[in-house]
Chain A
Amino acid sequence: MNRQRRVVPDVVIVFAGDSGEGMQVTGMQFAHASAMRGNDIATFPNYPAEIRAPQGTLAGVSSFQLRFGSFDVLTPGDECDVLVAMNAAALKTHLHLLKPGGILIANEPGFDRRSLRLAGYSEEQNPLTDGSLSGYQLIVLNISQLVSAALADTGFSVREKERMKNMFVLGLLAWLFDRPLEALEQLVTTKFAARNPEIAAANLRLLRAGYNFGETSELFAVRYEIPQAQLPPGTYRSISGNEALVLGFVTAAQKAGLKLFYAGYPITPASEVLHQMSTLLPYDVYPFQAEDEIAALCAAIGAAFGGHLGVTATSGPGFSLMSEALGLAVMLELPVVVCDIQRAGPATGMPTKPEQADLLQALYGRHGEAPLPVLAAATPADCFHTAYEAARIAVHYMTPVVVLSDAFLANGTDLWRIPELDTLPPIVPPWASDRYKHNGSFAPYERDERGVRPWAVPGMRGFEHRIGGLEKEHITGNVSYDPANHERMVSLRAAKIEHIAHELPPQTITCGEPSGELALVSWGSSYGAVLSAVQECRRQGLSVSHIHLRYLNPLPRNLGDVLRGFRRILVPELNSGHLTQVLRARYLVDARPYSKIQGRPLSVSELVEYIQRELHHG
């Protein structure tokens, strides 16, 4: 059959099915293959906290949103071109994302009476046959039957075959969007071969069966082509935010010549960091699963006292438990990095859903005067650079550092240009030397010109010293209750953190003019949506600029001047206005929040609408 080929700049696919039906795997494999095909990618996995939520129910739906394109893809997209609905619940929960006229692939057995009832469709109503989906290109397939036929000569049970049907879907879509089959075959082989060669072979067979089904059946009149993105020269891979964090820390420790001690307590969505670290023993990584988050950070502090880079990652509940130990790290002035992979709170909240409501806690959530650097990653790939930078600051300034990521970045996938190792800034620990000795005894709290104390570790003869949570006398580090000394130490610790701003790059305008009517200020994972919205509004001729912050403490020294270049400042955040408060307090500017607290990322269209309203009615 001679099919039409259509070139499109980008495509958004949503794979939706029951959790446990392999939607995340399918999406990830497709994303990898797309990246290898030369497209930029962005993904948004969305899954329930329950490992196997009740089958067929709305609560049990797991989905994976993938966007790939021939330009700089900043977000996974507000809506999709293709929706794969493995059952009625998946359709019900995700149909609102599908563009009018979009392709809807439905797995017929997932729409039997029971599934329809569980999804809340009324008696006798079947969306696949009642005409309600006529606005879409509806393709109904009995995937279970196709899979069963393809594996007819194998010994797999019906149940096992059912679990592999995602591979057929992957093959079919690979054909539709011209993804390289060899790349997918390689990915599938690496994923399954080690576990079970028979399952690997079956998965490969289904992948090809799906692909061939696209080729031979006449379901699709059009086959799509997405040209390669124009990317700067370099070596690329796809990477998730949590993977990027791990690589960032390992790289930083290696560059600094330090062992990396990583302590973690299992928590969604940070556990992958612990898992990945646990595979890296040959890279001087010391992974440790602690008994709780308090122990995780305390152990990291102990390792830092021993001369290593201490790192831990957690999410909101664990971050709360770490508050006291973070204060201790501030007092001790030891290099540790705490990653808070934020999720919707408070308390257990919505463990798999993103939110940015831990910012004020990161900045201020300790008793006493306890400032520390706070950095936020903008994209999954940026997690590498943020981790590296956090480790660099922690070591250079002998301080705990907080890295903010979130559920959106942690699991989302990005295209990453792998950096050349020698282009990364050096990391030089401030080891103690005889310069810090007075009459033969070591002064652990004597500071250099940047306000940084020296790092002396057990085993160094002649540098034996005691540190602790009690206030210390300036220079000697001996316990001191002297009132003037306490005030001085508080200000010395604060000045050290402020000093970091002197070596940071000045704040730049992320997009648009350096002054004007309106600026959107963002931090963390809102980067992509805000930048896309600003770009879109600027194409419409609106005067709007974008300022994205990586450093939330200390803030860039020129930020006040940059903000005062705009008549109005809007701060879109997945919280009730945390950064807004900080900017207002710090710079006396009339920043206003755009808040969204739904456990969902910002969409580009909502921001575009908001900007339009602001500028037309402002």
Chain B
Amino acid sequence: MADTLSTAPTAKDYASDQEVRWCPGCGDYAILKQVQTVLADLAIPRENVVFISGIGCSSRFPYYMGTYGLHGIHGRAPAIATGLAITRPELHIWIVTGDGDGLSIGGNHFLHILRRNLDVTILLFNNEVYGLTKGQISPTSRPGQRTPSTPWGSFEYPFNPAALAFAAGATFVARTLDRDQPHLRMILHRAALHRGAAFVEIYQNCPVFNDGAFAIYTDKETKPDNALFVEHGKPLRFGSGEQKVLVLDGTAPRVAALTDELPANVWVHDETDRGKAALLVQLSEALGPAFPRPFGVLYADPSRPTYGELLAERRQRLAQETVPDLARLLHGRNFWTIP
């Protein structure tokens, strides 16, 4: 491993010397590679990067990074990251979590770190199943999913992580897939540059316990009609030959044929539009299978100040008002001396 990053770094400079131990064919490998690539692209000094995780397959991630890292306890990565981000705002802090770790046991911390808009990047590897504990349902598992804990098929309603993050006040919400590496890389790049809490949901295939869960978004035949790749400023087009478009009738989305609509009627993606983002994050979930699942940066609000910025402002103001004097602090307002 290169000792300095004075020459242009490569992805390898961000890898640790530990053997990567995910199952063969696990989507995590692709994510690891793209994260390392993006860090190299951005040439962020290794010593200023910290990966924090909870428990689960995804949470082994920090061990494979040549940066600083902390493998915490189940669900608590956002809480651990919060203490670090508040005191060390200059660091590049990444949280790696999964659908069980981040949305079940750690659901509370997940909501609050987004609400506070701490300057962190959250990668949620969503494989819709518990992998490390051998295949039970997770909060994103679909109705009907048969697992050891739901041998009769689950009847629980799943979370939509992107919608949840959006509702919790995330200032950056994106969705991507392990199998689409250029898209994954582009989204990770954008997330890394976002100022504030950036949430990235990554559909990640678990070849052992939930193989093919996202195949309809990656297989050639099914992908065009089911996956919608959004880009800021561009019309929402999908389907074979991008012949389908989304149209907004008031606040009601509708699928139409490109040829049937005037170009002016087609929904153009504006990632800063909070109202449209509210529709977009829950497009296929709330409106049914006729609607495609959107991928890309669904929402980004660069204007909201981060927790760190607000805290720094407050600290600066107080520093102007109060000159710290520890001895005076100990004395308080009322003291007296006995000779």
Residue A192 interfacial (CB < 8 Å): no
Task: Determine whether A1 belongs to the interface, using a CB cutoff of 8 Å to chain B.
Answer: no
Residue from B62, B73, B81, B338 in contact with A328 in the complex, judged by beta carbons closer than 8 Å: B73
Task: Assess whether A288 is in contact with B82, with CB atoms less than 8 Å apart.
Answer: yes
**B91 adjacent to chain A (CB < 8 Å):** yes
Contact B331 A299 (CB under 8 A): no
Q: Does B12 contact A (CB under 8 A)?
A: no
B109 touches A282 (CB 8 A): no
Task: Please determine whether B76 and A298 come into contact, CB atoms closer than 8 angstroms.
Answer: yes
Contact check, B70 vs A466: say whether CB atoms are below 8 A apart. Answer: yes
Counting CB contacts under 8 A, is A290 at the interface? yes
8 Å CB contact of B71 from A291, A294, A464, A468: A468
Across the interface, A282 reaches (CB within 8 A) one of B46, B73, B318, namely B318
> Of A291, A421, A458, A479, which contacts B68 at CB under 8 A?
A458
A479 to B81, CA, bound (A): 21
Give which listed residue, A233, A305, A325, A441, contacts B73 with CB less than 8 A.
Answer: A325
B 323-337 binary contact with A (CB < 8 Å = 1; else 0): 110110111111111
Chain B residues within an 8 Å CB radius of A47: none
Beta-carbon contacts of B66-87 to A below 8 Å, as 1s and 0s?
Answer: 1111111100100111111111
Are A303 and B87 within 8 A (Cβ)?
yes
Q: Which of B48, B68, B326, B337 contacts A466 (CB 8 A)?
A: B68
Q: Give the chain B neighbours of A461 by CB distance below 8 A.
A: 4, 45-47
Our pick among B55, B88, B326 for the contact of A458 (Cβ within 8 Å) is B88
- Per-residue interface assignment for chain B, residues 9 to 45, with 1 indicating a CB less than 8 Å from any chain A CB and 0 otherwise: 0000000111000000000000000000000000001
With A and B bound together, what is the CA distance between A466 and B71 in angstroms?
A: 8
Assess the B88–A459 pair: CB atoms within 8 A: yes
Q: Is the CB of B82 within 8 A of A299?
A: yes
In the complex the two chains form, is A263's CB within 8 Å of B334's CB?
A: no
Chain A nearest Cβ from B242, distance in angstroms? 43
Known: A467-B71, A470-B71. A283 touches B329 (CB 8 A): yes
The count of chain A contact residues (Cβ–Cβ below 8 Å) is 73
Complex Cα–Cα for A55 and B52 (A): 51
Assess the A236–B336 pair: CB atoms within 8 A.
yes
Q: Which of B48, B49, B83 contacts A300 (CB 8 A)?
A: B83
Closest CB-CB distance, A23 to chain B, in whole Å? 20
Interface string of B133-158 (1 = CB under 8 A from A): 00000000000000000000000000
Give A117 to B69 CA distance when docked, in angstroms: 65
B324: chain A residues within 8 A (beta carbon): 282-284
A233 in contact with B86 given A458-B48, A478-B18 (CB within 8 Å): no
A235 and B336 form a contact (CB under 8 A) = yes
Q: Are A466 and B16 in contact (CB under 8 A)?
A: yes
Interface string of A299-311 (1 = CB under 8 A from B): 1111111111010
B243 touches A (CB below 8 Å)? no
Main secondary structure of the interface of A (DSSP, over half): mixed
Q: How far is the CB of A425 from chain B (nearest CB, A)?
A: 16
Roughly how many angstroms separate A406 CA and B319 CA in the complex, as a whole number? 34
From B87, B329, B331, A250 is in contact (CB under 8 Å) with: B329
Question: Given A324-B73, A421-B326, does the pair A303, B331 have CB atoms closer than 8 Å?
Answer: no
Expressed in whole angstroms, the Cα–Cα distance for A284 and B86 within the complex equals 12
A contact residues around B51 at 8 Å (CB): 466
Bound together, the chains give a CA A291 to CA B108 distance in angstroms of 8
Chain A: minimal CB distance from B14 (Å): 10
CA distance A288 to B83 in the complex (A): 8
Interface residues of A in 253-306 (CB under 8 A from B): 254, 259, 261, 263, 280-284, 286, 288, 290-292, 294-295, 298-306
Task: Evaluate contact between B323 and A282: CB separation under 8 angstroms.
Answer: yes
Question: What 1/0 flags go to A317-345 for Cβ under 8 Å of B?
Answer: 00000001101100010000000000000
Question: Per-residue CB proximity of A458-475 to B under 8 Å, as 1/0?
Answer: 111111111111100000
A298 with B79: CB separation less than 8 A: yes
Say whether A302 contacts B336, CB under 8 Å: no
Given the contacts A295-B76, A460-B47, A468-B62, A306 and B334 also touching, CB distance less than 8 Å:
no
User: B residues within 8 A CB of A324?
Assistant: 73
Quote the shortest CB–CB distance from A80 to chain B (angstroms).
25
Distance in angstroms from B23 CB to nearest chain A CB is 17
Binary contact readout A420-461 vs B (1 if CB under 8 angstroms, 0 otherwise): 010000000000000000001100000000000000011111
**Given A459-B88, A459-B91, do A328 and B72 touch, yes or no (CB 8 Å)?**
yes
Which residues of A217-239 are within 8 A (CB) of B?
231-239
CB distance A187 to B334 under 8 Å?
yes
Name the residue of chain B whose CB is nearest to the CB of A312.
Answer: B83
**A36 vs B67: C-alpha distance when bound (angstroms):** 56
**Bound CA span A325–B73, Å:** 7
8 Å CB interface, B71-115 against A: 71-73, 76, 79-88, 90-91, 108-109, 111-112
Contact between chains at A301 and B83 (CB < 8 Å): yes
Q: Are A286 and B326 in contact, CB atoms less than 8 angstroms apart?
A: no
B245 touches A (CB below 8 Å):
no
Q: Does A154 contact B (CB under 8 A)?
A: no
Indicate whether A302 sits within 8 Å of B81 (C-beta atoms), given known contacts A291-B108, A292-B108. yes
Q: How far is the CA of A231 from the CA of B48 in the complex (A)?
A: 53
A467 touches B338 (CB 8 A): no
Chain B residues whose C-beta falls within 8 Å of the C-beta of A303 in the assembled complex:
83-84, 86-87
Task: Tell me which of B45, B85, B87, B329 has the highest count of chain A C-beta atoms within 10 A of its own C-beta.
Answer: B87
Q: How far is the CA of A308 from the CA of B84 in the complex (A)?
A: 9
Q: Does A247 contact B (CB under 8 A)?
A: yes
Would you list the 9 A-B pairs with minimal beta carbon distance, nearest first?
Answer: A468-B71, A302-B83, A299-B83, A298-B79, A466-B69, A295-B79, A303-B83, A302-B84, A302-B80
Given A259-B87, A295-B108, 14 new contacts (CB under 8 A) = A36-B336, A190-B333, A232-B338, A239-B332, A251-B330, A282-B323, A298-B82, A307-B87, A307-B88, A324-B73, A458-B49, A459-B47, A461-B47, A469-B72
Residues of A that sit less than 8 Å from B by CB: 32, 36, 38, 183, 186-187, 190, 231-239, 247, 250-251, 254, 259, 261, 263, 280-284, 286, 288, 290-292, 294-295, 298-308, 310, 324-325, 327-328, 332, 418-419, 421, 440-441, 457-470, 478-479
Please, could you name 7 A-B residue pairs with CB atoms under 8 Å apart, sorted by A? Answer: A38-B336, A282-B318, A302-B84, A304-B83, A463-B47, A466-B69, A470-B71
